[in-house]
Amino acid sequence: MPRWVIWVLAGVLLATFLIPSLLPSDDGDRITYTEFIAEVEAGRVDNVTINNGTGEISGEFTDGEAFRTVGGGDRGLSESDEALLDERGVTKEFTTPSNNWFLNILGLMLPVMLIIGFFVWLSRRAQGQMGGVMNVGKSKAKAYDTDRPATKFSDIAGYEGVKTEVTEVVDFLRMPERFKEIGARVPKGILLVGPPGTGKTLFARAVAGEAGVGFLSVTGSDFMEMFVGVGASRVRDLFQQARRMGKAIIFVDEIDSIGRKRGAGLGGGHDEREQTLNQMLSEMDGFETSEGIVIMAATNRPDILDPALLRPGRFDRQIVVPLPEFEERRAILDVHCRDKRVGSDVDLETIARATPGMAGADLANLVNEAALIAVRRGSKEIERIDFENARDRVVLGASRESLILNAEEKRATAYHEGGHALLSTVLPHGDPLHKVTILPRGMALGVTWSLPQERHTYSKEYFEDTVCKAMGGRVAEKVVFGHLNSGAANDLEQATGIARRMVREWGMSERVGPMAWSGQQQVFLGEDLMQSGREYSDDTAKLLDEEISRILTEQENRATELLTKHRRGLELIAEALLEHETIDGPEVARLIQQGMEESGESEPVKLNVMGRSTSSSAS
Q: What is the pLDDT of residues 417-429, one digit of tens each?
A: 889 989 988 888 8
Q: What are phi and psi of 573, to 5 degrees?
A: -65, -45
pLDDT of residue 468: 92
* Domain carrying residue 482: 407-616
Give the three-state DSSP class for 70: strand
CATH of the domain at 517: 1.20.58.760
Q: Is 14 part of a structural domain of the chain?
A: no
Q: Do residues 294 and 314 lie in contact, with contact meaning Cβ atoms separated by under 8 Å? A: no
pLDDT of residue 533: 56
Per the structure, the count of domains in the chain is 4
Residues 460 and 609 in one domain: yes
pLDDT of residue 553: 92
Q: Do residues 408 and 417 lie in contact, with contact meaning Cβ atoms separated by under 8 Å? A: no
Give the highest mean pLDDT range of 135-139, 407-411, 457-461: 457-461
Q: Do residues 618 and 609 lie in contact, with contact meaning Cβ atoms separated by under 8 Å? A: no
Q: Is 12 part of a structural domain of the chain?
A: no
Instruction: Specify the range with the lowest mean pLDDT, choosing from 223-227, 369-373, 396-400, 524-528.
Output: 524-528
Q: Is 369 part of the annotated catalytic residue set? A: no
Q: Is 474 part of a structural domain of the chain?
A: yes
- H helices of 482-580, in order, are 489-504, 538-565, 567-580
Q: Is 128 part of a structural domain of the chain?
A: no
Q: Is 557 part of a structural domain of the chain?
A: yes
Picking from 302, 320, 338, the residue at the C-terminal end of a domain is 320
Element (H, E) at 237: helix 230-244
Residues 476 and 381 in one domain: no
Give the highest mean pLDDT range of 256-270, 399-413, 546-560: 546-560
Neighbours of 174 (CB within 10 A): 13
Residues 215 and 77 in one domain: no
CA angle 3, 4, 9 (to 5 degrees): 105
Residues 367 and 418 in one domain: no
Residues 261 and 350 in one domain: no
Res. 549: pLDDT tops 90: yes
Residues 226 and 243 in one domain: yes
CATH of the domain at 187: 3.40.50.300
Return the amino acid letter for 482.
Answer: G
Greatest CA separation for the chain: 149
Residues 290 and 209 in one domain: yes
Can you tell me the mean pLDDT for 523-548?
69
Residues 154 and 277 in one domain: yes
Residues 280 and 337 in one domain: no
Q: Is 137 part of a structural domain of the chain?
A: no
Catalytic residue chosen out of the listed positions 254, 328, 383, 417:
417
Contacting residues for 227 by C-beta, under 8 A, at least 6 apart = 136
Q: Do residues 54 and 15 lie in contact, with contact meaning Cβ atoms separated by under 8 Å? A: no
Residues 164 and 229 in one domain: yes
Residues 335 and 419 in one domain: no
Task: Tell me the pLDDT tens digit for each residue of 253-306.
Answer: 888 777 777 765 544 455 667 777 777 777 777 655 556 777 888 888 887 888
Picking from 365, 395, 425, the residue at the C-terminal end of a domain is 395
Q: Do residues 136 and 51 lie in contact, with contact meaning Cβ atoms separated by under 8 Å? A: no
CATH of the domain at 87: 3.30.720.210
Q: Is 479 part of a structural domain of the chain?
A: yes
Rounded CA separation 3/121 (Å) = 14
Residues 334 and 287 in one domain: no
Q: Is 115 part of a structural domain of the chain?
A: no
Picking from 320, 353, 377, the residue at the C-terminal end of a domain is 320
Rounded CA separation 288/282 (Å) = 12
